[in-house]
Amino acid sequence: MKRLFPVINVLSLFLLVILAAGAVYVESLIAKRLETETRATLQNHLYTVKNRIENNLLSDLQLAKGLVAAVATKPQLSQREFAQAAKSILYKHNQLLSVSAAPEMVLEMIYPLEGNETALGLDLKKVPEQFVAAERAKKTGQIVLSGPVDLVQGGSAFIARMPVFIENPQGKNTFWGLVSALIDEKSLYINSQLIGTDLPVEVAIRGRDALGEEGETFFGRADLFEDAAVFAELQLPVGSWQLAAIATGSLPEVGAFVWPMRIGYALSAFAILLSFFVMNIALKRTVSAQERAETAQSELQASLKSLNERETLLRTVIDEMPDVLVLKDHKGNFLLGNNTVARLYNTTPEEMVGKNDADFGVPQEMADFFRENVLAIMEKGEPEVVMEDSTDTASGEVRHFKSIKKPFKDADGNNQILVIAQDITEIVEAQRQLEISEKKFRTILDSVDAYIYLKDKAGHYLFANRKVRELWGAAMEDIVGFGDDKFFDHPTAKNIQHNDRLVLDDGQTLKVEEVNTLPGGGTTTYQSTKLPLRSEDGDIYALCGISVDITELKNIEKALRISEQRFKIAGEAAYDLIYEWDVETDSLHWFGDIDDLLGYPKGSISQDISAWLNLIHPEDKDLLGDAVERHRTSTQPIKYEYRIQHKKGHYLYLSDHALPLLDENRRPYRWIGVCTDITTQKEQQLLLEFNAYHDKLTNLPNRVLLADRLSQAMHQQKRRGQTLAVVYIDLDGFKQINDQYGHDVGDVLLVEIGQRFQTLLREGDTIARLGGDEFVAVMLDINSSMDSIPLLRRILHAISVPVLVDDVVLQVSASLGVTFYPQAEDVDGDQLLRQADQAMYQAKLEGKNRYYFFDMEHDRSLRGQRETVERIELGLRQREFELYYQPKVNMHSGDVIGLEALIRWNHPEDGLLMPGQFLPVIEDKPVAIEIGEWVIEDALRQMDAWSFQGHDLSVSVNIGGLQLQQDNFVERLEALLKKFPRVASECLELEVLESSALQDIQLVSKVMQRCNELGVSFSLDDFGTGYSSLTYLKSLPAANLKIDRTFVRDMLDDPDDLAILEGVVGMSTAFRRGVIAEGVEEIAHGEMLIKLGCNLAQGFAIAKPMKAALIPDWISSWNPPKEWQEQGPISRDDISLLFAEIEHRAWLHKVDRFVAAEEPEELELPEFDVSKCRFGSWLDKHGREQYGEAKAFINLDDLHEKVHVSGELACKAALKGDVKAIKKHQTDLHKYSHDLLNVLMLILQEQSPG
């Protein structure tokens, strides 16, 4: 160590040289940074100047563009009108000197005119220096800025030439002329602070006539562009200017860092030198300490060697242990583990240290249990023995352990625990297998149709199966340990015990008949088999008994013996045929006229059984042949039904019942049987079965048979790897035919269409009628969705072919909903029918007389490909998307309050696609954000266009949760709004689904608040269908609520939907929010909404979504229905009248559905007690209390009674299938119902003030 001192002296000299070189290098860095900072500051000043010029120019050009819009709107402006429009632009504006208009490039209008009269009539085409710029503006369609040019009246100015295009009658844009504006050059420089202010930089501008760096310098020194200046480009609508700048002196912002850098370097150098000298002193002290440490280290090495030897011995003992041994700290982490536990965890003892059980593949729940158990034992401080499981991570097998856990503290007082665990998996598994085996044994014995029991040497029960327990009505614990004395009378018990002793004492195996008197009374005969159970040494330790109840068989034998002669006599006189079959000779002896039954002369039928079998129907022959062979030995009664051939060739149904006569060996030697002709009953049964599974009107399969065939078809298609289609068919316009011509004519039409269906479908396909005008087809072996289209088109065509009924030509169309199976997710038959039904409803909405595919995957495969996210992105880039607009109106006043923007995809192959056909594919993909932003931008662009046309319309846009929760959503929205300054931000509304805010309601609330600050409002779309509507109302700053269409659609027939709708309107009032209803498809919907206080709505009854170009004409022609204009909101005190009306409609709908059902007996009857129906409850209580004094109320009781009587009679007629009575009572029902609803309306009118 002492030899280092000369080296340290050399290093000291070298350090001084390095520090001197560093000082030189720092000075060079300062110079370079000073140069860079100077140019950056100079560039900032230049950009400031450029931005001022650009803003001032854009301000002038935007004002002038307003005049272009005025000219384009009214090309025939006079000089006076032009001056009036221009005056508003030039008022108090000192950069615009004048504006002029030159239709067809001939100057005809100027403002101000004074002093410029000589310019009128100037033809720009004949002035070369002006024609170049004018022609350039015409060709590019953009503003062309030329100049500066010198003015006759003094000064100089820039000339902005703006082309004007107008739309001709053919819809094409044509060139009208030019609008020009003079921008004062000096004012532009002053307002841009180029002159009149002390700039720290000198600026020059070149690019006269917008020619960029190729143009002349028109401001400042031209040689500035040759100096070491900085440059900036100012983009004009066509062309550009180039700016250059150099510093006029020192820039005050530059160089502030120079002296701090120098001082910093000096301090750093001083610190390095000081540290080096301190280190030199410390090194000398270290030399002395090192010598002392070397002595201590040799002593330590000797001690460690001894310690390592002892540790190696202990480690060998631990690793050789067959049991698991681990040491854990107070956190449950391994401090030590032997080879046994390492093999269990598929690792090494070294890898285990510092880790826990979960790190080696043990399930987290099990690892948490281990850790919590260790902590509990440490806290208790006492050893414990526990049974626990662990996972062998190599095989994944769960092992069972008996663990001893000993807690203790280490030398530092930290809690540790020693665990020694014995693997008892084999023992646990053996016990489990024993339990399973015993359970299986008991299950088998309980399933046997015999009485099985075990008894010990004393005759006490050890086991009794289910039959024994049921016989005595006792549980197992009430039987085991007791003898027969508990369950039988004394003589019976004594007889049983006698037989048991022969088995238990003598070792006999008995098969004996026992006649026992049961506990409940009565005598039963059992065929009992009893055998001894022996241990390995041959000693009998128990008895096993099996008893079968043969009481009935004994009674039959007795009865047969007594009545054999009676059968012979009765057979001769009976209508049924009695026969005897001799098993040994196979002869048949008939007692009755078998020949006459089968159409043969008397005595013609052979008495040989094989000849009899030859007359059996081929499908039944094997069954009867097997039965004959089986009953040669079996004593079970014969009971069969089969068909036998008549001489004329047709078949009769016979019911054959026979019992055996047994010999002394209990084998059948003769059978006595009765054959009954059941042909008539069978035919009736088959007819009933056909009616049970078929529609009475069309004979097509009904809903029950459809469900069975659909279930079988689904199983078959899935097994074969094929696809089936379910087609839900609903006739368009059938109700109108029924209403106009009556149900009889409608039935003829349904029968004809049903027959057409049967000729259309292939073998194996099914067509069923569900009821009314609804049918369902199940089509098998569809290779792809495309395969189904020809058949779907044939179905549509077949339905549309006219039908002639009683000189009346009837024609309907159909809406088809189609779904396919199998699908990605498991579905059942009912789900398929619901899917097809929903798709059919969509076909109705699309315009009827068409098919609609429910499943998106099949829908896309029908079009030849499955749309992917990449295809949607391509569609966005290729501008294939378009916005349609659906008006939102005040139904009462007729005011158009705004529009909703709805996206459509103009797919090049598949035509116009609805949002539901592509948006779900991308709802969680980044492209959803791009499409959402495109929708907002396109809506703003259209609003800007409408604003230019004089229509300031509010538009609402749907946004998804993914887009709304983007970090930069507000900034992006603000940028889009700035892009269209003519559109007021208050005119944009964003519609958010309730579910969009579910994930992070606080974040969404903040985003909405920031958007509100921009002027953009929000509405909650599909309100009422989310998870916590009240939470959204309280938390989200939404101005409006949109009631979901599902509540509006069914509110006229469903009281629950009306209650929800009325509640939403009430909540909107309570929370001071606007409310608008979606899905108004009927005038009646609008009337009910207005009554409830909801005037704002949208839906097909108002207008379907349309292209933007159609909106202005629609607005000008729109007038609300007279019913809406005359209807006003009703008092909340009279809301119950509306609910009473809907309750009655719901009851009437239930009656109509019951009467129209194919099998009404399967439906629940409507309530016919006038006091128990919901309308009756209202009538007797709230209705009478509140409206009993009304003049019209007196008629309600009588009408309500008549309605119920007519409804009950119609339902009873439906149960009887009396079509004529149904028609009569249903006509009365609807007449009285109409009168009742009119009375409710009169009562409501009486409550209105005026």
Q: What number does CATH give the domain 321-423?
A: 3.30.450.20
Q: What number does CATH give the domain 695-862?
A: 3.30.70.270
Segment 300-348, tens digit of pLDDT: 565 456 555 555 655 665 766 778 888 888 888 988 888 887 888 888 8
Q: Are 473 and 464 in contact (CB under 8 A)?
A: no
Q: Which two tokens stand for residue 395?
A: 């095989």
The DSSP result for 750-810, as a single string, is HHHHHHHHHHHSPTT-EEEEEETTEEEEEE---SSHHHHHHHHHHHHHHHHS-EEETTEEE
Q: Which residues contact 485 (CB under 8 A, 6 or more apart)?
A: 493
Work out the angle between the directed axes of helices 5-73 and 258-320 (0-180°, nearest 10): 110
Q: From the CA atom positions of the chain, what is the Rg in Å?
A: 50
Does the predicted model carry a pTM greater than 0.95?
A: no
**Over the range 375-389, which residues count as b (16 or more CB within 10 Å of their CB) and which as e?**
bebbeeeeeeeeebe
**pLDDT of 891 higher than 90:** yes
The DSSP result for 1169-1209, as a single string, is -TTTSHHHHHIIIIIHHHHTTSGGGGGHHHHHHHHHHHHHH
Q: Which two tokens stand for residue 960?
A: 């998804």
Q: Which CATH architecture has domain 1134-1247?
A: Up-down Bundle (1.20)
| pLDDT attached to residue 257 | 54
Q: Are 120 and 135 in contact (CB under 8 A)?
A: no
Segment 575-616, tens digit of pLDDT: 578 888 898 888 888 877 788 888 888 877 767 778 788 889
**pLDDT of 72 higher than 70:** yes
| pLDDT attached to residue 1038 | 85
How far is residue 745's CA from residue 811's CA, in Å, rounded to a whole number?
Answer: 12
Q: How confident is the model at residue 865 (pLDDT cuts 50, 70, 90)?
A: very low
Residues shown for the chain:
1250
Average pLDDT in the 1076-1087 region?
Answer: 92
Percent of the chain with pLDDT over 90: 25
Please tell me whether residue 513 adopts helix, strand or coil conformation: strand
- The burial class, CB within 10 Å (0-12 / 13-18 / 19+), for 320 is exposed
**Over the range 255-278, which residues count as b (16 or more CB within 10 Å of their CB) and which as e?**
eeeeeeeeeebeeebeeeeeeeee
Class of the CATH domain delimited by 869-1124:
alpha beta
Fold of 432-549: Beta-Lactamase (3.30.450)
Q: Which two tokens stand for residue 207?
A: 């690019």
Please tell me whether residue 222 adopts helix, strand or coil conformation: helix
Segment 926-939, tens digit of pLDDT: 888 999 999 999 99
Segment 998-1055, tens digit of pLDDT: 556 788 889 999 999 999 999 988 676 544 455 566 777 888 888 888 888 888 888 8
How far is residue 660's CA from residue 552's CA, in Å, rounded to a whole number?
Answer: 13
Alpha-carbon distances, residue 709 vs 199, 757, 784, 836 (angstroms):
91, 17, 21, 16
Segment 626-682, tens digit of pLDDT: 888 898 898 899 898 999 999 899 999 999 999 999 888 889 999 888 888 888 888
Q: Where are the domains of the chain?
A: 30-247, 321-423, 432-549, 553-685, 695-862, 869-1124, 1134-1247
Q: Which residues contact 868 (CB under 8 A, 6 or more apart)?
A: 921
Q: Are 590 and 582 in contact (CB under 8 A)?
A: no
According to DSSP, the β-strands at 510-517 and 523-534 are: antiparallel
Segment 358-390, tens digit of pLDDT: 888 888 888 888 888 888 888 888 888 878 777
| pLDDT attached to residue 1193 | 86
Alpha-carbon distances, residue 680 vs 574, 594, 676, 685 (angstroms):
18, 18, 11, 9
3 state SS for 970-1036: HHHHHHHHHHCCCCCHHHEEEEEEHHHHCCCHHHHHHHHHHHHHHCCEEEEEEECCCCCHHHHHHHC
**pLDDT of 349 higher than 80:** yes
Higher-confidence residue of 1194 and 119: namely 1194
| pLDDT attached to residue 769 | 93
According to DSSP, the β-strands at 334-337 and 324-329 are: antiparallel
Q: 178: number of CA atoms within 13 Å, CB side?
A: 31
Q: Pick left, alpha or beta for residue 866 (phi over 0 → left; psi -120 to 50 → alpha; otherwise beta).
A: beta
| pLDDT attached to residue 652 | 92
- Residue 93: φ, ψ to 5°: -120, 110
Please tell me whether the peptide bond between 822 and the residue prior to it is cis, using omega within 30 degrees of 0.
yes
**Over the range 131-143, which residues count as b (16 or more CB within 10 Å of their CB) and which as e?**
eebbebbbeeebb
Q: How confident is the model at residue 230 (pLDDT cuts 50, 70, 90)?
A: confident
Q: Are 677 and 644 in contact (CB under 8 A)?
A: no
How far is residue 43's CA from residue 245's CA, in Å, rounded to a whole number?
Answer: 8
Q: Which two tokens stand for residue 139?
A: 């060709």
Q: What number does CATH give the domain 553-685?
A: 3.30.450.20
- The burial class, CB within 10 Å (0-12 / 13-18 / 19+), for 1019 is buried
Q: Are domains 30-247 and 321-423 of this chain identical in fold?
A: yes
Q: Are 635 and 553 in contact (CB under 8 A)?
A: yes
Bridge partners of residue 778, in order along the sequence: 726, 766
Segment 954-970, tens digit of pLDDT: 999 999 888 888 889 99
**pLDDT of 297 higher than 80:** no
**pLDDT of 740 higher than 80:** yes
Work out the angle between the directed axes of helices 1055-1070 and 1135-1156 (0-180°, nearest 10): 150
- The burial class, CB within 10 Å (0-12 / 13-18 / 19+), for 316 is exposed
Segment 12-41, tens digit of pLDDT: 676 677 767 767 666 676 667 767 777 777
- Specify the amino acid at residue 19: L
Bridge partners of residue 203, in order along the sequence: 245
Segment 771-790, tens digit of pLDDT: 889 999 999 988 777 788 88
Q: Which residues contact 224 (CB under 8 A, 6 or more apart)?
A: 202, 203, 204, 244, 245, 246
Q: Are 1127 and 1169 in contact (CB under 8 A)?
A: no
How far is residue 652's CA from residue 649's CA, in Å, rounded to a whole number?
Answer: 10
Class of the CATH domain delimited by 30-247:
alpha beta
How far is residue 891's CA from residue 17's CA, in Å, rounded to a whole number?
Answer: 93
3 state SS for 303-348: HHHHHHHHHHHHHHHHHHCCCEEEEEECCCCEEEECHHHHHHCCCC
Euclidean distance between the first and the last CA atom of the chain, given in angstroms as a whole number: 117
**pLDDT of 284 higher than 70:** no
As a whole number, the mean pLDDT across the chain is 83
- Specify the amino acid at residue 98: S
Q: Which two tokens stand for residue 793?
A: 């088109």
Q: How confident is the model at residue 250 (pLDDT cuts 50, 70, 90)?
A: low
Segment 1046-1074, tens digit of pLDDT: 888 888 888 878 888 888 888 888 778 88
Q: Are 1200 and 1170 in contact (CB under 8 A)?
A: yes
| pLDDT attached to residue 606 | 65
How far is residue 798's CA from residue 801's CA, in Å, rounded to a whole number?
Answer: 6
